[in-house]
Amino acid sequence: MSQPALTTWNDDEQAFRMAIREFAESEIKPKVHDMDKNQQMDPELISQLFQMGLMGIETPEQYGGAGSSFTMACLAIEELGRIDGSVSVLCDVQNTLVTNAFLRWGTDQQKETYLPRLASEWVGAYALSESSSGSDAFALGLKAEDKGDKYVLNGHKLWITNGKEASVFIVFANVDPSKGYKGITGFLVEKDSPGFTVGKKEDKLGIRASSTCELLFENCEVPKDRVLGEVGKGYKIAIETLNEGRIGIGAQMVGIAQGAYEAALSYVQTREQFGKSLSSFQGIQFQLAEMRTQLEASRLMVYNAARLKDSGQDFIKEAAMAKLFSSRAAEKITSLAIDLYGGNGFTTEYPVEKFWRDAKIGQIYEGTSNMQLQTIAKMELS
């Protein structure tokens, strides 16, 4: 079985990767097909993610987390993606978006209130997108009205990952639409807040066990101590958090591509045609070589961006390039895996069709490929 090159990882990183791989193989893999078919995340798996410390990887130990690095979070996201993209993105959003936002912009009280729960029992969600606010992330229709000791939110959100499982939501709304993006503010909304409802769950092509939900706000009251960061500075939180999150999506794509590649490699070595294994045909060998090269290039780009982030260096362009390249590579690698399986690859009996379905979202969420191209070009020309 093909393994990702581990010579560049230190002993702790290798041990961490292998512990997650063992968990994913033994606990997640047997449930993948049913979770995908039923569009339902197994609650027991979520509890196990918490028990393993995978939902608070960067959270400091004083708040009950692992106190580790962003790179370690990406290792977890990749290894989970190798088995199931839905479990991977649940862990990804928790670590690279929600927890990261609390760590960077939360008050001491907010950190003490939420970080221990996010590390031990509460799933979090990040609510930015709306029907008119996709790539134009700041065209928000959700409004927040100042009522003295609280804000009242009215409007809705769409396509919110972890919507069904989350207990706390980081929600972006505009306190003063006349100021445009300078009115955008981050709010912490708990699931049981009056006036807040989790709406329908989307029926999706891929990552089907991951809940993607509509959020409804009807005179939803949010105390002022649940403003995240400064009023009117929510755009800064959104931009900077998504820059980090894109590396996590890149790691997810690497994991999905790795899983598809391993499945294809195993299949062509055992499947026979014309009296010999598929792997003995040069045409097949060349396709495998292309897949492996694209996979390793993606991995190097993702972890280069992650280590830049961990070292405090500028990583925005590298994050955009990593997401752009890895998401394209994942779609190509998973599609080739189906080709190598032939007719079997087009059936749900084998895993590669699901890897392909799960890979497609990588070019869409947390910034489309066109938005990544725009970011890269802008930074090159500045």
Both tokens of 155, joined, read 């409007």
Nearest to 350 by CA among 361, 359, 362, 337: 337
Integer Cα distance of 173 and 103 in angstroms: 20
Nearest to 317 by CA among 378, 252, 248, 367: 378
Q: Please, are residues 103 and 67 in contact by the beta-carbon 8 Å criterion?
A: no
Q: Please, are residues 265 and 289 in contact by the beta-carbon 8 Å criterion?
A: no
**Which H/E stretch holds residue 34?**
helix 32-38
* DSSP string for residues in 255-312: HHHHHHHHHHHHHHHH-EETTEEGGGSHHHHHHHHHHHHHHHHHHHHHHHHHHHHHTT
Q: Please, are residues 157 and 171 in contact by the beta-carbon 8 Å criterion?
A: yes
366 classed as catalytic: yes
Out of 165, 214, 318, 366, pick the active-site residue.
Answer: 366
Residues 6+ apart with CB under 8 A from 299: 4, 5, 78, 254, 326
Residue 62, Cβ density class (10 Å: 0-12 exposed, 13-18 middle, ≥19 buried) = exposed
Integer Cα distance of 30 and 34 in angstroms: 8
Length of the chain: 382
Integer Cα distance of 20 and 6 in angstroms: 15
Integer Cα distance of 344 and 267 in angstroms: 10
Nearest to 204 by CA among 42, 366, 359: 359
- The amino acid that residue 218 corresponds to is E
Which residues partner with 220 through β-bridges? 153
Both tokens of 43, joined, read 């609650």
- Just list the catalytic residues: 366
